[in-house]
Amino acid sequence: MAKSSKLSNVKYIGVLNLQGAVSEHILMLNSIDNVQATLVQKPEQLANLDGLIIPGGESTTISRLIKQNGLLTPIQQFAKQGKGILGTCAGLVLCGKTTTHNEVELLDLMDICVERNGFGRQINSFETILDIPTIGEQIPAVFIRAPYIAKAGEQVNQLAFIDNHCVMAQQDNILTCSFHPELTVDNRIMRYFVDRC
Ligand SMILES: NC(=O)CC[C@H](N)C(=O)O
The residue to mutate among 15, 16, 59, having the most atoms of ligand 1 within 8 angstroms of its beta carbon, is 59
- Classify burial at 91, counting beta carbons within 10 Å of its beta carbon; exposed 0-12, middle 13-18, buried 19 or more: buried
Establish if 124 belongs to a structural domain.
Answer: yes
Rg (CA), the chain: 15
Query: Has 180 been annotated as catalytic?
Result: yes
- 180: domain CATH number? 3.40.50.880
The per-residue pLDDT for 8 is: 81
Cα–Cα distance for residue pair 135/130, rounded to 1 Å: 10
CA distance 52 to 14: 5
The residues near 63 (Cβ < 8 Å, ≥ 6 apart) are 94, 104, 105, 106
The tally of domains found in the chain comes to 1
d(CA 49, CA 80): 14
Position 110 scores a pLDDT of 98
Q: Is 105 a catalytic residue?
A: no
1 within a domain of the structure (yes/no) = no
Closest Cα to residue 155, out of 187, 114, 112?
A: 112
List, for the chain, all residue ranges whose pLDDT scores fall below the cut of 70: 1-4
Q: What is the ipTM of this complex?
A: 0.94
Identify the domain containing residue 33 by its residue range: 11-195
Q: Would you say 189 is a known binding-site residue?
A: no
The per-residue pLDDT for 5 is: 72
Residue at 34 is within a domain: yes
| pLDDT at residue number 2 | 47
Q: Is residue 3 part of a domain?
A: no
Q: Any known ligand binding at 58?
A: yes
The answer to the question of residue 2 being in a domain is no
| pLDDT value of residue 7 | 80
